[in-house]
Chains A and B, each alone.
Chain A
């Protein structure tokens, strides 16, 4: 589904990604772990199409099509979804309006009829229950005044509404207490499907207790330095990153 070959990217002239190679097939769940500053979030942002990052080499294809040629909104319509590490607050745009506009943009792209306000309200209420978010949040501004956990649940709610082909979860576990982590994980697990891939970017392995990945990759210094199965995450938890020759002062769980 997603194929990344020798991807290089930089921001403000500084190279962050230094040759990433990664293959993700439909139905798979991959976890990318790594210390702070290793390039995890950059990879997420680059895949979603943030123009603040400059692609300096390599290629990325989604189901064989060149992803890097597509504008951000086109990538989303082709099925890329990024759950933001720091979801943006947009006062003045109601969550409901935002979600409905997004869902209808997707439907329009697929040649489906747009949902009217009443139809969408029904759907949104159902999905909000799935992530344990009070439907009252629908009326508020996008993420406006939401707690950290509420923002993350709102991200997962969007994924559930938009039904992407590839969901990228950027540090979705950060700032969550154990109950919220459970809710978010249930939401992500509900996304798992044969025709969908999930890429989790995380600093800590605790999320992986709830969402069990098929593959784990370690990103360090802008490259994937080690790949393995689920057991790699456990090993990292036990031994830290040091045994891989990676310095990470911040990774003391």
Chain B
């Protein structure tokens, strides 16, 4: 039998040394734990559809230099922090200056702050399920720490632009940690974007730690180029009565993978996860979500929609785990999928594990095509076939797009969707 493939040792050597000592030490420790890390294969359940698109050759292990053109597709009205290849670019960034809100790049932390962070970093994630978050933990060159003091409310969204300058092969490891104090509030927008044509790996980790009553809205927009392998993980810990709301919008590429893990650890916590994925050509997009109802009386509501055209492939895997003590849990998961061509593929899998007996847990998944009756109705009013197709496809995700609470993101998503329609539906 062929030995199981393991991560090349080339990945164990981070380049940047500008981090404070406690974080360097953490990174080193995490790297040593990566030796002989098994790589997922098609027999690995949580990677079975996506492992074949992984390219983790040695040249992919090279840290991309923190230079190159930075860009964004968003019309950003206010606060922003710009990263190129995982390293913050201070001159391109504009921080809020508000009491109770601390935003710092990891490399600017003093030793005590870095020490405190190193105790928490990675703590929101189950690394068994998000294997590649471990690689990020050993490789991050920089990162952003957002610390909201209790009661602090950020007055407008903070945009974090993670730009990958793909001028040569290599990898980048964006990292964000949000420490939201009791009753604090903010909206965070992460955009992942790229320029350059080289094959690259972007391996991200974003963590949200919500104290009692904190309210965080997270918007994640994936706009990277076709040749980018994006493997991202988001971990969320929620204390009592906190509320987390996530809006993920992703356009496909060679490999897109996002793991979103939420743990409802305090009573009365609420989480709402929305996701839209659009793929075309030979693109691939794999969303794995996981919600752990650990405490009683928590609500979760999850709605994901995939649209796959041409020969593309979209995957949704939604896990809900209701722990034994999580009585009166209320969980609702819904995944609808639209196949626009016969050659496209969508795989959806709800996974429910329920160990409490007094819970409400609903799930639904559908895969379908555009409705012929609706199409006939539209064209019978003189609307062209192409436009009718666009209207109906847009209708499929409108509900989710219109819920994105940041106008700049809605606009960018709409423009990108228009391109998609342009390429997918020919005038008939």
Interface residues of chain A, those whose CB is within 8 Å of chain B, are 48-52, 71-73, 75-77, 81-82, 84, 87-88, 90-93, 97-98, 101-102, 105-106, 109, 141-142, 158, 162
* Chain A positions within 8 Å of B374 at CB level: 88, 90
- The interface stretch among B182-190, B394-402, B418-426 is B394-402
By the criterion CB–CB under 8 Å, are B379 and A72 in contact? yes
* Chain A positions within 8 Å of B394 at CB level: 92-93
By the criterion CB–CB under 8 Å, are A98 and B379 in contact? no
* Separation of A73 and B312 alpha carbons in the complex (Å): 30
* Separation of A109 and B396 alpha carbons in the complex (Å): 28
Chosen A-B contacts, 22 in total, with CB atoms closer than 8 Å, are A71-B379, A71-B428, A72-B379, A72-B380, A73-B379, A73-B383, A73-B388, A76-B381, A81-B380, A87-B377, A90-B374, A91-B399, A92-B395, A92-B397, A92-B398, A92-B399, A93-B392, A98-B381, A101-B391, A105-B381, A142-B377, A162-B382
By the criterion CB–CB under 8 Å, are B399 and A82 in contact? no
By the criterion CB–CB under 8 Å, are B373 and A88 in contact? yes
By the criterion CB–CB under 8 Å, are B380 and A76 in contact? yes
* Chain B positions within 8 Å of A90 at CB level: 374, 377-378, 391-392, 395
* Chain B positions within 8 Å of A141 at CB level: 395
* Chain A positions within 8 Å of B385 at CB level: 71, 73
Min CB gap A84→B, angstroms: 7
* Chain A positions within 8 Å of B379 at CB level: 49, 71-73, 76
Lowest 7 CB-CB distances: which A-B pairs, in order? A92-B395, A76-B382, A102-B381, A88-B377, A92-B398, A73-B379, A105-B382
By the criterion CB–CB under 8 Å, are B381 and A162 in contact? yes
Query: With A92-B398, A92-B399 in contact, do A48 and B391 touch (Cβ < 8 Å)?
Result: no
By the criterion CB–CB under 8 Å, are B383 and A101 in contact? yes
Query: With A84-B377, A88-B373, A105-B387 in contact, do A73 and B395 touch (Cβ < 8 Å)?
Result: no
* Chain A positions within 8 Å of B372 at CB level: 52
Interface size on B, residues (CB 8 A): 24
* Separation of A244 and B175 alpha carbons in the complex (Å): 82
* Separation of A21 and B361 alpha carbons in the complex (Å): 58
* Chain B positions within 8 Å of A84 at CB level: 377
* Separation of A97 and B377 alpha carbons in the complex (Å): 14
- What residue in chain B is nearest A142 (Cβ atoms)? B377
* Chain A positions within 8 Å of B381 at CB level: 76, 81, 98, 102, 105, 158, 162
By the criterion CB–CB under 8 Å, are A98 and B378 in contact? yes
Asked if B38 is an interface residue, CB under 8 A from chain A, the answer is no
* Chain A positions within 8 Å of B53 at CB level: none
Query: With A88-B374, A88-B377 in contact, do A102 and B382 touch (Cβ < 8 Å)?
Result: yes
Flag B122-162 by CB within 8 Å of A: 1 or 0 each.
00000000000000000000000000000000000000000
By the criterion CB–CB under 8 Å, are B391 and A97 in contact? yes
* Chain A positions within 8 Å of B102 at CB level: none
Which of A51, A84, A97, A102: most chain B Cβ within 10 A?
A: A102
Contact of A49 among B380, B383, B395 (CB under 8 A): B380
By the criterion CB–CB under 8 Å, are B382 and A48 in contact? no
By the criterion CB–CB under 8 Å, are A93 and B395 in contact? yes
* Chain B positions within 8 Å of A109 at CB level: 382
By the criterion CB–CB under 8 Å, are B387 and A48 in contact? no
Query: With A50-B376, A87-B377 in contact, do A93 and B391 touch (Cβ < 8 Å)?
Result: yes
* Chain A positions within 8 Å of B368 at CB level: none
- What residue in chain B is nearest A143 (Cβ atoms)? B377
Asked if B364 is an interface residue, CB under 8 A from chain A, the answer is no
* Separation of A235 and B396 alpha carbons in the complex (Å): 49
* Separation of A87 and B381 alpha carbons in the complex (Å): 12
* Separation of A63 and B382 alpha carbons in the complex (Å): 18
